[in-house]
Amino acid sequence: MFPYPLIWFVIALPLAGYIVLALTGSRMPHRAVTIIGAGTVGVSLALALLISFWYFIAPPPGLVYTDTLWTWVRVGNFTPGIAVYLDPLAVVMMLVVTFVGFLIHLYSVEYMGDDRGYSRFFAYMNLFVGAMLILVLANNLLFLFLGWEGVGLCSYLLIGFWYTDLNNVHAANKAFIVTRIGDTSLAVGLFLLFTHLGTLNIQEILARAAAQWPVGFGLAIATAALVLGGAVGKSAQLPLQVWLPDAMAGPTPVSALIHAATMVTAGVYLIARLYVIFQLAPPVMLLTAIIGAATLLLSATSALVQRDIKRVLAYSTISQVGYMFLGLGAGAWSAAIFHLMTHAFFKALLFLAAGAVILGLHHEQDIFRMGGLRKSMPLAFWTFLIGASSLAAVPFITAGYFSKDEILAGVWNAYGGTGHLLWVAGLLGAFLTAIYAFRLVFLVFFGEERRSPEKRPGLLIAVPLVILAALAIGGGWVQIPKTVAGLPLFGHFLHGAFTLARTKTDAGAPGMLAGAAAIASLGGIALAYLLYLVLPAFRRRLAEQPIWTAMGRFLITGWGFDWLYEWLIVRPYLWLARVNRDDVIDLFYRGVSWTAALSYRGLQAAQTGNVRWYAAGVAAGALIILAFVVYGL
């Protein structure tokens, strides 16, 4: 079965790098930290490429390879193992995590080179990649949950990496606490699955659920809803999206890793992996699509008014993951994973290009203090332009167009009239996406140069940018839609992971749909061009109008969700904590302590040293006992 057993080294190498750097990294020379930190992920990528190549030319029987190192827990019939499962979906996710993760590590060598926490940074990053690989390659949900919690821990450590700034600590705490809500929901869902299906092996769960639960069964709906709660928290979807914009407190490579290759895509992967459970719960499928549509619109409108370049990209990530949820809710499983892959390319590219700009301008992140950088930073300009074009789904030449078009076509064919409404929401989101994407391009790279860059990207920053730019354009041609040539290679490959999927009929007018998506993209770019390059004075006058000023203040806060949660949850909780500072539960234990102390004082008072009182006490006790015996009988 060579080289499939090497898959364990794909997972183990980043984890080994973490252990070495965590234990001895602070005493290592800079070069050794670089070799271990980036090198272990690089070797992991090489092994992943070898395994994937072999998978294509000599696939295992049934397109599935499984391997168990040992049984993790043995309690009655509960015997989950440290085991991996390789199928087409796992191959795609493994390649995305290792490939994009390695490019970000390579970029980080230069970006973080002068940071005092250099070894600590790479230790956390390696653990992040290792945990994500466990998540996507796990054969059972308990092992998957280990990776799930691992990426949550790493996000906390990396968002608060510069912990001397209290704002960064608050952002890390916020991410950790908000995602705990979703994690709790997922944990309850796992208990429910094991209780009623008797296993946590993913494939056995899917087979037993399909055989035992009819469509619309209550347990299927409850389980799918709980799993959706976990996915919503980890992937920053409504109503748990508030942690992600603040996660920009971490270094830029961290933002790229969280948004492109790890954490926020974990929820999408989880739903896709448990697709049978969701197919048995149509109301939850529809809810998933509605959550995705609402999230992509809310986040896209919020991105329109942000001043911080990284916060624009953060809201963009929430919006694009919303598209993935929209596709999942429509049953367009392959389309959602396709967009996950292309998004990994262009979003990593955007963050890394933005990082080059931030580094060049001495950590300036306000886009209104930038401008005219296309001549002084041509590499950052061209790569950012390519990433923004793919994000805006510029038709026929960008990866983002092909993947987004697949999702919109799938939504159109789902749920009848409701699907058409969801398609309209996706189309409006595409229009807004084009506006905010090119708002960034025009404000940062065109117009008057307000600040000259102090530092230009070196080779270790340039190479990842060029590779990701190529993928942001060419990565979409693995799934050529019917409107172009009709060669869905990616969908055919992923079909092996969704063999139990109930496919929907391919109705509708694909040409019309593709044309509308193209018009939405190009129309949004044209509007951004008019507002930010041709008519900037008109835009500024418009922004000064009271109604637009008020709307801008509302949107820049992300529709006021932080304010809402502050008043509905945080402040009442803090009030209860102050009122209950002595803890009502402790009243019982304080009562036991008070009773013991009172008994001690009573017994102490009886010890007078006077023999006559002792004799009188004995006599009185004897009389009481005698009276009880006589009259009690």
pLDDT digits (tens, 9 = 90+) for 183-242: 999 999 999 999 999 999 999 999 999 999 999 999 999 999 999 999 999 999 999 999
User: Residue for token digits 């809500």?
Assistant: 181
Under the banding of pLDDT at 50, 70 and 90, the label for residue 353 is very high
Whole-angstrom Cα distance, residue 460 to residue 106?
6
| pLDDT band at 482; cut points 50, 70, 90 | low
Distance CA 609, CA 605 (A): 10
Of residues 589 and 390, the one with the higher pLDDT is: 390
What is the distance between the alpha carbons of residues 108 and 293, in angstroms, rounded to a whole number?
Answer: 34
Domain boundaries, the chain: 332-543, 582-632
Share of the chain above pLDDT 70, in %: 97
Q: Which amino acid is at 134?
A: I
Q: Please report, rounded to a whole number, the percentage of residues in the chain having pLDDT higher than 90.
A: 75
Per residue in 515-564, pLDDT (tens digit) is 899 999 999 999 999 999 999 989 889 888 899 899 999 999 999 999 99
Q: What is the chain's length?
A: 633
How far apart CA 368 and CA 374 sit, in angstroms, is 15
Name which of 517, 507, 339 is nearest 425 in CA terms.
517
Integer Cα distance of 187 and 145 in angstroms? 8
Pairing of strands 65-71, 81-86: antiparallel
In the chain, how many H helices and how many E strands?
28, 2
Q: Which tens digits make up the pLDDT trace of 128-148?
A: 999 999 999 999 999 999 999
Q: What DSSP state is assigned to residue 242?
A: T
Give per-residue pLDDT as tens, 74-94: 888 888 999 999 999 999 999
* Closest of 434, 430, 414 to residue 422, by C-alpha: 414
CA distance readout (Å), 351 to 45, 469, 528, 548, 555? 21, 12, 21, 29, 22
Contact 565, 174 (CB under 8 A): no
10 Å Cβ neighbour count for 164? Answer: 6
- The two structure tokens encoding residue 456: 């230009």
Q: What was the pLDDT predicted at 505? A: 43
Contact partners, residue 601, CB within 8 Å, separation at least 6? none
Contact predicate 501/278, CB 8 Å? no
Q: Can you give 553-571 as a three-state secondary structure string?
A: HHHHCCCCHHHHHHHHHHH
Rounded distance between C-alpha atoms, residue 321 and residue 40, angstroms? 29
Mean pLDDT score of the chain, rounded to an integer?
92
In this predicted structure, the answer to whether residue 610 has a pLDDT above a threshold of 90 is: no
Residue 212 and residue 424: Cα distance in Å, rounded?
Answer: 37
Average pLDDT over residues 563-571: 93
Query: Residue 616 — very low, low, confident or very high, per pLDDT cuts 50/70/90?
Result: confident
Return the axis-axis angle of helices 30-57 and 7-24, rounded to nearest 10°.
170
Degrees, nearest 5: CA angle 176-178-180: 70
Please, are residues 395 and 521 in contact by the beta-carbon 8 Å criterion?
yes
- pLDDT band of 507, cuts 50, 70, 90: very low
Q: Is the pLDDT of residue 349 over 60?
A: yes
pLDDT digits (tens, 9 = 90+) for 34-63: 999 999 999 999 999 999 999 999 999 999
To the nearest 5 percent, what fractions of the chain are helix, strand and coil?
A: 75, 5, 20
Query: Which residues on adjacent β-strands are paired with residue 101?
Result: none
Determine contact, residues 299/318, Cβ cutoff 8 Å. Answer: yes
Chain center to CA of 158: 14
pLDDT for the residue 77: 82
- The secondary structure of residue 238, as a DSSP letter, is T
For the record, the structure tokens of 343 come out as 């998004």
**492 CB-near residues (< 8 Å, 6+ apart):** none
pLDDT tens track for 261-310:
788 999 999 999 999 999 999 999 999 999 999 999 999 999 999 999 99
59 burial class (0-12, 13-18, 19+ CB within 10 angstroms)? middle
pLDDT tens digits, 399-433: 999 999 999 989 998 887 888 999 999 999 999 99
Residue in the block written with tokens 């409850």 = 222
SS3 string, 294-341, reads HHHHHHHHHHCCCCEHHHHHHHHHHHHHHHHHHHHHCCCHHHHHHHHH
> Cβ of 455: how many Cβ atoms within 10 Å?
12
DSSP-derived 3-state class of residue 163:
coil
**Least confident stretch, 122-126, 550-554, 603-607:** 603-607
pLDDT at 506: 46
Question: What's the CA gap between 434 and 521, in Å, rounded?
Answer: 6
Q: Which of 107, 161, 129 is nearest to 358 (CA)?
A: 107
Query: How many angstroms separate the CA atoms of 590 and 353, rounded?
Result: 60
What 8-state DSSP symbol labels residue 505? P
